[in-house]
Amino acid sequence: MNKFFMRELRFFGWRLPLWLVVVASVILLGSLISLITVLSVRPRTVDENGRLVTFYDDGTSKTILTSAGTVAGALKQAEIEVDKADIIEPTVGTELIASSYSVNIYRARPVVVIDGGRQTRVVTAAQTGKTIAQAADVSLYAEDVADIRREGDILEADGAIMRVQIRRAVPVRLSLYGQTTSQRTQAATVAEFLDEKGLKLDEHDSITPSLSAPIARDMEIKVWREGKNVITVDEDVPFEIETIQSNDHDIGYHEVQTVGENGRKSVTYEIEIRGGVEVGRTEIQSLVTLSPKSQIEIVGIKRKGSYTTPSENENITWNYLRAQGFSREQTAGIMGNLQQEHGFQTSGDGLAQWTGGRRAALMAMDDPYSIYTQLDFLMIELNGGYRAVKNSLLAATTVEEAVIIFQDRFERCGVCMQTRRIEYAYNILASH
């Protein structure tokens, strides 16, 4: 064997030992194999005209590289067929602009909704018990429960692969310190009902039936306080405002996407009366009978830049103030003053010719010479130390009234030239 490897081979006039040739060949082969491996596992990259889209469909996934402009186009390229009843997230009309996307496909399937003795069959892609019931036109109360159960034997389930069992809440009447309301509950006992509704009894409270009594349909649960004077009133529960900031709209843009609705609550007060006069009032219980619905508002936050011309500033100011809730007359009254002060220029002391500490506060803000910054600062003052001025402006019904309020209580000018301010205000009103 040693003699074999000691042989010599001739390459292009060179005499090389056989063992050296073998070692060199092995090294070259190993390098080639490593290169092939690296190239084969190299991750896919997305060129400027394509993007990776991964579809998740009923437990399976599929990834494609596509130049399609929408989810619908990517589905077509992937040869994935969907039904109108299927739910696609994001929707088929969504434009593809990012480098990668995950698309979930929820397939419509037959479901049987069981509500007491009534069975409703529906084909839906809804994923929760309550949304499936909604698809089957089965109305539910907030306290009702919709349990999902998959069928083991499709044939026995009339082709449905899933059942939704509705567990209806039990209706009861609650008399809370003299105020009677209709309630629904999944509780088994009166004690569980009180806990479910967030009601806590005071040591002076009495209740009937007992806390251990089982809940029965249409039963009355009565809570009262011995030796106390109580009153019960219905009050509004103000809706909350949820703001969506949109970079697609300029500052000053305002749109109510969903109108809010106040809720209602039943509030019980303990009152103290001396000589026939109420001298004290303490809330002892509050029960929300109708939940408020939030108002969804879209506001623009896109800035056009630090510098804008006075004519542009006039239009921006009009739209901005109108979006803050001022009427046309009130807006014109404010703007007549701003026209007189600095002609809608943002240079120097700004739109409203702020001085002293007020000007210093403006200059401390980001981009202080921007029309948008100065309008924001104007509203900061009107919502803060000048709130009374804002309230008076909102109560004004004429252009003259709005001009004078803003002139005397916000600008507090020395030589005001009131007639010119009113003239400017009417011209602005006529041009918008």
> pLDDT of 171-217, one tens digit each?
999 977 656 789 999 999 999 999 999 998 888 777 889 999 999 99
What is each CA distance from 86 to 123, 147, 152, 154, 260, in whole angstroms?
10, 21, 23, 20, 31
Q: What percent of the chain has pLDDT over 90?
A: 52
Q: Average of pLDDT values for 47-53?
A: 74
3-state DSSP assignment of residue 110: strand
Q: Looking at residue 191, what is its pLDDT?
A: 94
- More confident of the two residues 27 and 401: 401
Q: Looking at residue 284, what is its pLDDT?
A: 87
Q: What's the pLDDT band for 22 if we cut at 50, 70, 90?
A: low
Third-level CATH fold of 306-431: Lysozyme (1.10.530)
Neighbour-count burial of 192, counting CB atoms closer than 10 A to its CB (0-12 exposed, 13-18 middle, 19+ buried): middle
Same fold, 51-106 and 306-431: no
Q: Looking at residue 79, what is its pLDDT?
A: 92
- More confident of the two residues 40 and 322: 322
Prior bond of 171 cis (ω within 30°): no
CA nearest 419: which of 340, 341, 355, 304? 340
Rounded to whole angstroms, the Cα distance separating 64 from 100 reads 10
Q: What's the distance, CA 44 to chain centroid?
A: 35
Q: Average of pLDDT values for 323-339?
A: 95
Q: What's the pLDDT band for 311 if we cut at 50, 70, 90?
A: confident
Q: What percent of the chain has pLDDT over 70?
A: 82
Q: Average of pLDDT values for 84-100?
A: 90
What's the whole-number average pLDDT of the chain?
A: 84
Least confident segment among 70-79, 216-225, 239-248 = 239-248
Phi, psi of 256 (to 5 degrees): -90, 110
Q: Where are the beta strands (DSSP E) in 361-400?
A: none
Q: Looking at residue 302, what is its pLDDT?
A: 61
The pLDDT tens digits of the residues spanning 403-428 come to: 999 999 999 988 899 999 999 999 99
Q: Looking at residue 259, what is its pLDDT?
A: 93
Q: Average of pLDDT values for 128-136?
A: 90
Ranges of each domain in the chain: 2-37, 51-106, 109-167, 171-225, 235-298, 306-431
Q: May I ask the CATH class of domain 235-298?
A: mainly beta
Q: What's the pLDDT band for 10 if we cut at 50, 70, 90?
A: low
Strand partners, 263: 237
What is each CA distance from 68 to 43, 72, 104, in whole angstroms?
21, 8, 17
Q: Which segment, 157-171, 220-234, 303-317, 413-427, is predicted with the most confidence on average?
A: 413-427
Q: What is the largest CA-CA distance in the chain?
A: 129
**Whether CATH 1.10.287 fits 51-106:** no
Least confident segment among 79-93, 114-128, 249-263 = 249-263
Least confident segment among 41-50, 239-248, 302-311 = 41-50
Q: Looking at residue 352, what is its pLDDT?
A: 94
**Whether CATH 3.40.630 fits 171-225:** no
In the predicted structure, residue 366 carries a pLDDT above the cut 70: yes
Q: What's the pLDDT band for 273 if we cut at 50, 70, 90?
A: low
